[in-house]
Amino acid sequence: MIFRYTILYVQDVKATLDFFNTAFGLKTAFLHESGDYGELDTGQTKLAFSSIELMQQLGKSPAIKPVTNPSFEIAFETEDVAAALAKAVQAGAEQVQEVQEMPWGQTTAYVRLPEGILVEICTAVQAP
């Protein structure tokens, strides 16, 4: 068994892919001609997006409004958290937590994307 992908449900797949391109420097790997499904180039495990409309057509019941109290987060690792945070905010993300040094040696910051997705921007966890 391998972890192949995560699909997040969004209102506008292309706009979300464009946001991730601008805010985090990730490239679009695939966008279906319908505009209802797309993937980012994130290595072996894909980060994908599906439109809420498509999920409704498939009989699923996705949340329609952006979540203000998320039950998950996604994280992007970088060597320069402050620069990545500034870039994400400039692209339209809402800053949730400023850059902080964690007791375990990791630097973190958090943003919320326009779709309500919570994103951690962090350095690698340093081995003791």
pLDDT in tens, 54-104: 999 999 988 877 777 788 899 999 999 999 999 999 999 999 999 999 998
Instruction: Work out the percent of the chain whose per-residue pLDDT is above 70.
Output: 98
Residue type, 82: A
> What integer pLDDT is reported at residue 69 of this predicted model?
79
**Is residue 128 scored above 80 in pLDDT?**
no
Strands 94-101, 107-112: pairing is: antiparallel
What is the DSSP-derived secondary structure letter of residue 8?
Answer: E
Q: What is the average pLDDT value for the chain, to the nearest integer?
A: 93
Mean pLDDT of 35-49: 96
Facing residues of 94 across strands? Answer: 112
